[in-house]
Amino acid sequence: MVRSVYFHREKGMRIIEGIVDFASLIEEPDTVLWVDMESPSDEEAYCLTHDFKFHPLAVEDVITRQLSPKVDEFTDHLFVVFHTAYYNPGEEGLSSKEIYIFFSQRYIVTARYREFKSLENLFDRSVKDERILSRGADFLLHNILDYLVDDYNGALSLFDHIIQELEDEVFRDPNKEILRRIYELREDIIHLKQIVSPQRDILRSFTVGRYKLISEKTYIYFRDVLDHLTEVDNRANSYRDLLASVLEAYFSAVSMKTNEIMRVLTVFASIFIPLTFITSLYGMNFEYMPELEWPFGYFAVLGLCLIVTVSLLIFFKRKKWL
């Protein structure tokens, strides 16, 4: 599916559905064109080389779904692969979605194979507010990247909520399922940092004059997006540290639980040691043992065992071992 929004400084805004003669549109002066392709077909992808004359290697990356974030500079356009993240707890965990951006002086083409709510919201907003396109293609690129970076907030909010849940569950009932969730969440946070790190370099390159297509007046705006992405990375670091603390708390809780079990077992063992001694003493088959012929010997031994057991229980209770 292809839809476009076209701004002409004299004729105003125009919404275009499907494939048209994009080559003639981009030749018009004082215009900005944004073409958004969702799951482009072969015919739609053909426009990238036929109408826009994008470099074949960049178009090949779109068709083959090249995944690594990067920016490539060609003669009259930039090719950017940018990622955002979404999180499904208990299912596939953290996953990334890539978007391919062709940027030139008067037009931008975005190609994607998944749904981007933020991008669709920006597209709808640009239709209603011509200021988004009227300021130029580089400002439009800033807006696109800004909306994509904001998508990370959804995953970060879920991380925050899940870590709070894990903190509560660790002290309530530490078990192997909680340990599994802790390690899975830690892997997701590491994955998030691996996504964010190269994209910080991309945004930083837009703020230092490396590309002639990026005007100097937009540097401050790209720097603002870079700050947002840096904040995402900082929050990921803090969540990683929090998760390390939760993991330590888990092992401490398990250790305390094990100590409680060992203490109970030790108390029972301590009670049975004197009982075992008494019963084994009178279990010796000596011929001359006066107590064996005493009519009340059996009951006396039972009474002695009872007294020893009660005495030990009282002793352990006073020591707060029970």
Between CA 243 and CA 159 the distance in angstroms is 10
Q: pLDDT (tens digit, 9 = 90+) per residue, 279-288?
A: 777 777 666 6
Residue 97: strand, helix, or coil: strand
Between CA 40 and CA 113 the distance in angstroms is 8
Residue 151 near residue 231 (C-beta atoms within 8 A): no
Residue 308 has pLDDT above 70, yes or no: yes
> Running DSSP on this structure, what letter comes out for residue 287?
S
Residue 319 has pLDDT above 80, yes or no: no
β-strand pairing of 70-73 with 78-88: antiparallel
Q: pLDDT (tens digit, 9 = 90+) per residue, 239-260?
A: 899 888 888 888 887 777 777 7
Structure confidence at residue 128 as a pLDDT band (50, 70, 90): confident
Which residue spans of the chain are classified as CATH 3.30.460.20? Answer: 2-254
So what's the pLDDT on residue 103? 92
Domain 2-254, CATH: 3.30.460.20
Between CA 110 and CA 119 the distance in angstroms is 10
The more confident residue out of 272 and 231 is 231
So what's the pLDDT on residue 91? 67
Among 236, 204, 237, 82, smallest CA distance to 148 is for 82
The count of other CB atoms within 10 Å of the CB of residue 35 is 26
So what's the pLDDT on residue 90? 64
So what's the pLDDT on residue 300? 77
CB-neighbour burial class of residue 162 (10 A; exposed 0-12, middle 13-18, buried 19+): buried
Between CA 21 and CA 37 the distance in angstroms is 15
Mean pLDDT along residues 116-123: 87
Q: pLDDT (tens digit, 9 = 90+) per residue, 194-239?
A: 888 889 999 999 888 888 888 889 899 999 999 999 999 999 999 8
So what's the pLDDT on residue 286? 65
The more confident residue out of 297 and 149 is 149
Average pLDDT taken over every residue of the chain? 85
Which residue spans of the chain are classified as CATH 1.20.58.340? Answer: 258-318
**DSSP assignment string, 111-153:** EESS--HHHHHHHHHHHH-THHHHT-HHHHHHHHHHHHHHTHH
> Running DSSP on this structure, what letter comes out for residue 215?
-
CA distances from 11 to 32, 138, 193, 227, 259 (A): 12, 21, 45, 36, 79
So what's the pLDDT on residue 322? 66
Residues contacting 143, CB < 8 A, separation 6+:
122, 126, 132
Residues contacting 185, CB < 8 A, separation 6+:
159, 162, 163, 166, 243
258-318: CATH superfamily:
Magnesium transport protein CorA, transmembrane region (1.20.58.340)
